[in-house]
Each structure stands twice: as structure tokens, then as C-alpha cells.
Structure 1
């Protein structure tokens, strides 16, 4: 029989495992490492990292991530998205190397340094990933591109979750050996190299012949001033900041207050698998809804906003009923997937994963609907990831202070609903059926001929030629770009 002290120590080690896995789920890898990052996250620290050291590493990670992420758009615009993605991948390689080192020699200093370095790199990588995802597709394809990324991205989480599930299926203990970490190091090195296979913005030509709006001759001065110009000229984006903050706020609650507190080890591994699977479903469903044919973009924005509010109330309403059943003082509940009372909490946790993907897919799409300018979207993505990281850190801090579970739950539900209310003027009034080319060009040194396909340029010229005669607004053409365009 273990003593109370031994039980508490074991509890702390389990918390470290879940905390290391979950708190790292915000800065996961982007486009080329979309499978590798979440797969490593599914492994976490393997229960082998001292909770004090991993907390310090995560503090360093989120501190640098929040700062660098906010300004990462300027860096990405200056050095290019491809180089930014590649540099961002270095941090993940180093962090897994630090975990491997810790397993061998318990070098806490290296682990904390790697956490801080990962924060810097994650800010760069996620900013570039967001810019690629939002600026490369045409307007009527953005929901699909976001969904494709999110499905591939969470496939890694599914793969990673299978490993601890297999290890713990017939036991309540399990650890990840060094060979597994070495395998992930090799995969991450490959991902770092594959980043160079992505076409940079200036070389991308869409199916309709149009090109991505970029700045041709960026300087460090112009891009950091551009960040400030974005906040001044597009000040409405500040109303989206609470949604950015909320987008990862609930991770600490999901992983610690629900999965860790209510289930045993092998059931947590199964729940993790189901959580990432449902993220794939959520991204697919909302990706389809956001690109729904037959409705204008303005109506799609409003429709999906209403659906998201309804889903928030339904899922978190169910979560409230569930959370009333236990508190932090309840101790270890240890529910197993063979127990008769498992089915209800299992479906709730699955829908928590579904909701995560739904909320973030919608948030990304709203940003992408405000502009087609890669330079501006890189800044938006940087704001998103920097503020998101700060929000995730806030919840982890609350959980580390042993805040009551119901208080954590209330903060999640409240900030989600409040953030959508604050962002609603942007969603209802700023999103148009199509973004005018001239409006996007104001934030770059491109011309209309530089970015529009031959077909679109010819049609625009004809429309403007006859505009005075038949009073046909030029905007009619731009709105037509929201539907599949004729091939160039």
C-alpha cells in the first residue's frame, strides 16, 4: 500500500506527463510538420520529467511564444514564409532532443532553454503556417484549405496517441523509451528539410491565374512599421483578440481538470485518441459549412457564427452538468473505459475535441475573409498565435494554483461566449462578399496586373469600360470571384 506522500508524488508525475503533452499542444508544428508535431504531443514527456522542471520549461516556452508570436508577421514578411517555416521547425527538434537528454542525465537547464527556444520558433512557424493557409487559396476555397490542414495536423495527434494507448492497454503504467524520441528526432529533421519544398508566395499561381498579394521589396523597417499600420488601419481586428485569447484557453481544463482528474492512465490514452479524431471531424464539418455553395460569404459568416454559438451552448452546457459531479477535492476518480459510467463522459470529451477544431476553424476563416493580402494576413496570424499562447498560459497558471475545477470551467465557457459577442460586429459588418483588389493592394507595392489572372484582368477592364454607361458596379466582378472562376 503506497503512502499518501508516494501517492501525491505519483499524482504529480502523471500531471507532468499530461501537462507536458497538453500545454505543448498550442505550438504544434505547421504545414510540413503537421503530422510530426501532434504525434510527439501524443507522447508527452512520457511521465519521466520532473513536474517542477517541466513547469519551468513551459513557462519559458509560453513567455517567448507570446512575445515573438505577436511580432512574427513582420519577420515572416521580411524573410519569406518558406524560410520562416524552416526556422520554426528547429525548435521542435531541439525540444525533443532536450527531453531525450533529460531522460539520460536530467539536465534541467537544457530543457528550460529548449522550451524558451521552442517558444521563439513556434511563434515563427505558426505565423507562417497561418499566412500560407489563409493567403494561398482563393476566397471560395479558404474553408477547405483550413479543414485540410486541420485534418492532417490532428492525424499526428491520433498517431501519437496510439503509442501510449498500446503501452497502457493492459496496465496502468507506461513510459516512452529513448528509441522512440530518437525516431521523432529523425522525423522532425525530415520535416525541417521538407519545408523547403513549399513554393514561396511570390511564385504561387492559382488556378484562375491570379497571384498572391505580397510586398516586393520588404525591409525590416517597412515590415515592423507595417505591423503598426495593420493595427491602425485595421483597428477592428482588436475586437477579434478575445477570440484569439479563448482559442486555447480551455486546453488546461480539458487535459487536466477532465482527462487527468476523472480517468485512469489507459483511459486517458484512449480519450486522447478520440479527442484528436473528433478534431478531424469538426474541421471537416465546419470547413464544408464555411465554403457552402449557394450562399454569399456574408451569409456564410453569419450562419456559421450562429451555429458556433449554438454548439458552444450545447457542448459546454453538457460540460456543466458533468462538472457538477466532482471537484478537485474528490481525489483520484480513476474511471476506466470498461466502467458502466464511462460512455457519457467519453462522448463529452469527444465533443470537446470537436469544438476545439470548430472554434479555431471559424476563427481562422473569419481572419481570412477580411483580406487576401499575404502581408496583412501574416500579421493577423501573428496576433492570433501570440495572444492565443498568452491565453493558454493563463489557464495553465490557474490550474497550477489548484483553482477549483468549476471555476476553471466557468472561465472557459464565459470567455468563449464573451469573445464571440465582442467579435460579432466584425463578423456581421466587416466581412464582405468579396474583398476589393484595390483595398488589398493598398498594403503592398503590387499592381492589379501583378496579382490578377488574365481572365479576371480582362473582365475587370471591360466592366470598368462600361460602368458609366450601364451603372454596373465594379464590385459585381469581385463578388463573382467568390464563385469558381473561368480558367485562365
Structure 2
């Protein structure tokens, strides 16, 4: 008989936060994957994404502190509502043509997303045991990206017989309903203090935190040598979305095929994450060896797909043209039923999804290998998402400012190359256990450790329900 995991087990909590992300960030990803939020003119969508990632930079870095102070349930639930606001703003845009509300909603979403992803990252990489972290990351990634698949099916099905190049109100309404459900589901998460692993151990170190301490810890993130070395990795990890969703998906495919493509894009992420987890959790190899092999796979894979992208990009220069033509891609926009024209570009777009999963799963695995302290991991996850958003801010503005597609593509490839050497250095210096590094990575001295132990003894009764 199949035995279901306990409610207070780490796996149940990771699946729950995966379902929240299935219904909120994954729906946003599906909408974003249409290019310009599903609008024929990508300007408003690009500017909304710029506003989003500008605030995400700040609240991504600060998100770990906010989660540590206020807990995971309400921070995730309230953050989920910002996704619904953003999707709903496109209904207003459809009827008025005024993009100000959508851009403002993007800025508000950046606040919510920064906090939500810090909480998600902490749950995903601090709840499992060391030897299970890649498996838990993969489980989350599969549940999360299943939402992207569903989000791709919605516009594909609803717009299947549509002649317009913008999404209908019905698609946006469906996204709003799903995202509201995701926000409500955040309240079902258990406080970390109650979560227990199968061996009975707690997932949380009993510590009392306050705003002053969290502010100091945020500052110290930017003094941490390992975090600084990982800056290029963080900056690059979402940079390619702007190019893949805009200059590729929105510029050479028609509206229904964009949704069709996203079904495969997000589905490929699920497969990539699942397969990669077997390598990253392989108990027969040292952590360092696993990391180096995984790094090699990521480096080779990304260079191959960017090489193939260069070949594709040299065939066209623009999406919608001033003369009314939808693209200068040879033969016009591609429909998925045009098998001869569609097969190569769709396969390449699907491989983008595999590459995203490999890169981000490796990034989270590296971060999770630095420590087992859940409070630190919430800050590290927030740092990762904050710097990631800084890169995304730059990327979306490049497209908004009509930087040539070829230059955008080359920029992505160069940034990938710059991120690889410091990633390799961090991977090559990993230890087989993070337990001895709980304080080492932040450079704390013994006196501060003793003070924290005293705090723990006196403040157990103050432990927040977070």
C-alpha cells in the first residue's frame, strides 16, 4: 500500500510550496513566455518586467530577512496575490491600451516575488538532509514547471482558432483565478519549527532573530567571499529569459504556437531536473566530483545550444516591422502545423528549457551545499534571486530599447562564459559535509557563536511561528 508522507515531513512541505509556485510563478512564467505578456506589442510587457525586476533586486536580497522575521505562511500567501494583480492588469491593458497599470503591477509583483522566492529557496534547500538536496530540488522543479506546462496549454487551447496576435481576456482571467488559489494554498504550509525529518530531527535551528540582526546579515552577504564569487552565476541565471521569450518565441512563431512551445519548454525543465538529480545526489561519488561533472555538463550543453541559436538568429533581425509585417524571418511566422519549418526551431526552444533546468538546479545545489542553516539559506536564496533579478532587469530593458537580436544573443553567450570560472572554483572547493561550515562561510568568530548559544537558551520561548 502506498504510504503518503506526513504533513509535517520535509517532502510534504516542499511539494506544497511547489504547488504554490505551480499556481503563481509558473503561471507568470507561462504568460511571460508568450513574449510581451501575450501582447502583439512587447513594449508594455518589457517595461513591466523591468519594473518587476528592479523591485525584485531589493526585495530578493531582503526577502530572506523578511521571511525570517514574519514566517513562511503569510509572506508566501500575500506574495501570491501580487501575481494575480499582475495578470489581471493585462485585462485592463486589453481594453484601454494604457500600460501604466501593468507597469505598476509589475513593480508590486517584484516585491512579492522577491519574498516568495526567498521563502521557497529556504524550504527547498534547508529541509532535506544533505544527501537528498538534489532530489528535493528536482521534486520542487517538476511540480513548479508542471504549472508552466498547464500555463502553456491554456493560451494554446483558448487561442487555437484565434486570428489575433494578443491573448484574450479569458486567458488572463484563468491565470488570475489560478494565482489566487496559489496564494490561498500558501496558508497550508506548516511553520518550520514544526517540521520534522523521518529521523525525528528538526529542520530549523532554534534561534531568535530581529530586524537589526537581519539587516546586519544582509550587509554581510556582500562581504562573503563565496557569495561574491557567485555573483556572475546569479546575474546570468535568468538573463536569457528575455531573449528566449521575445526575440525567439514571440518573433518567429504565431500566437498559438507560442503556447504550444511553452508546453515543451516547461515540460523539458521537469525532465532535465529529474535526470540531473540522480547525478547530484549520487552517494558513490564525493560532492566535489559530482559538482565538477555536473558543471561540465552545464558548460558544454549551454555552449552547444547558443551555437545553434546563433545559426538560427542569422536568418532574421526583427519581430513586428514598421511596414506591418509580423517578422522578417524567412517565410513569415511559424505555425506548429508547418512541420518542415517548425521542427528545428521548436526543438531548439525545447532545449532552452532543459538548459534552464540544468543551470538553475546546479545553482541551487551549490547554494544548498554551502550550509545547512535554514536562516542562512533563506538569505542565500534571497541573494541569489535578488542578483538574478538585477540581470533580468538589464535583459528586459535591452529588448525594450530595441537592442538588435544578434547583440542580445551574443551578450547572453558572453555572460554565460563569464559565470563559469567562478562557479567551477566554488564547486572545486566544496566539502562533503556542510555541518562544519555553518559559521565558517560567514566568517563568524567564536565569541559571536557563544552569544548566539546564550540567545538560544534564553529565547526558546520566543520562537516565532515561522
Instruction: Tell me if structure 2 keeps the 8 A contact 1:39–1:158.
Output: no
Instruction: Tell me if structure 2 keeps the 8 A contact 1:213–1:440.
Output: no
| Cα offset, 1:438, TM superposition | 7.0
The structure 2 residue matched to 1:73, chosen from 45, 61, 64, is 64
Which region of structure 1 is more displaced relative to structure 2, 286-295 or 217-226?
286-295
Q: Who is 2:132 aligned against? A: 141
1:259 aligns with 2:249: yes
Q: Who is 1:410 aligned against? A: 410
Q: Who is 1:35 aligned against? A: 22
Which region of structure 1 is more displaced relative to structure 2, 331-340 or 179-188?
179-188
| Cα offset, 1:406, TM superposition | 2.0
Instruction: Tell me if structure 1 keeps the 8 A contact 2:149–2:267.
Output: yes
Q: Per-residue CA shift, 1:11-31, capped at 9, x if unaligned? A: xxxxxxxxxxxxxxxxxx963
Q: Who is 2:288 aligned against? A: 298
Counterparts of 1:61-460 in structure 2 under 5 Å?
61-104=52-95, 108-173=99-164, 176-214=167-205, 216-232=207-223, 234-328=224-318, 331-332=328-329, 333-337=332-336, 338-429=338-429, 431-437=430-436, 439-440=438-439, 445=452
Structure-2 change in CA distance of 1:314 and 1:382 (3 Å): same
Instruction: Tell me if structure 2 keeps the 8 A contact 1:123–1:386.
Output: yes
Q: Per-residue CA shift, 1:189-236, capped at 9, x if unaligned? A: 33222212212222221122222243521110011112223443x322
Structure-2 change in CA distance of 1:298 and 1:203 (3 Å): same
Instruction: Tell me if structure 2 keeps the 8 A contact 1:74–1:227.
Output: yes
Structure-2 change in CA distance of 1:192 and 1:101 (3 Å): same
Q: Matched residue of 2:18: which SS?
A: coil
Instruction: Tell me if structure 2 keeps the 8 A contact 1:68–1:386.
Output: yes
- C-alpha distance in structure 2 between counterparts of 1:46 and 1:108, whole Å: 12
Q: Matched residue of 1:293: which SS?
A: coil
- C-alpha distance in structure 1 between counterparts of 2:19 and 2:254, whole Å: 34
- C-alpha distance in structure 2 between counterparts of 1:271 and 1:180, whole Å: 16
| Cα offset, 1:179, TM superposition | 4.7
Q: TM-score, normalised to structure 1's length?
A: 0.79
Which region of structure 1 is more displaced relative to structure 2, 85-94 or 153-162?
85-94
Instruction: Tell me if structure 2 keeps the 8 A contact 1:167–1:174.
Output: no
Q: Matched residue of 2:306: which SS?
A: helix
| Cα offset, 1:33, TM superposition | 1.9
- C-alpha distance in structure 2 between counterparts of 1:343 and 1:191, whole Å: 35
Rg larger in 1 or in 2? 1
| Cα offset, 1:58, TM superposition | 2.7
- C-alpha distance in structure 2 between counterparts of 1:209 and 1:217, whole Å: 22
Any stretches of 5+ residues in structure 1 without a counterpart?
1-28, 451-488
- C-alpha distance in structure 1 between counterparts of 2:39 and 2:255, whole Å: 14
Q: How many residues align?
A: 419
Q: Per-residue CA shift, 1:241-275, capped at 9, x if unaligned? A: 10111111111111112122222333222212211
Q: Per-residue CA shift, 1:109-143, capped at 9, x if unaligned? A: 43333222111111100111111111011101111
| Cα offset, 1:46, TM superposition | 6.7
| Cα offset, 1:400, TM superposition | 2.0
Q: Who is 1:462 aligned against? A: none
Instruction: Tell me if structure 2 keeps the 8 A contact 1:87–1:124.
Output: no
Which region of structure 1 is more displaced relative to structure 2, 82-91 or 278-287?
82-91
Instruction: Tell me if structure 2 keeps the 8 A contact 1:202–1:211.
Output: yes
Q: Matched residue of 2:355: which SS?
A: helix
- C-alpha distance in structure 1 between counterparts of 2:426 and 2:438, whole Å: 17
- C-alpha distance in structure 1 between counterparts of 2:316 and 2:167, whole Å: 31
Q: Per-residue CA shift, 1:296-335, capped at 9, x if unaligned? A: 2121111111121121222222222222333339725312
- C-alpha distance in structure 2 between counterparts of 1:177 and 1:69, whole Å: 32
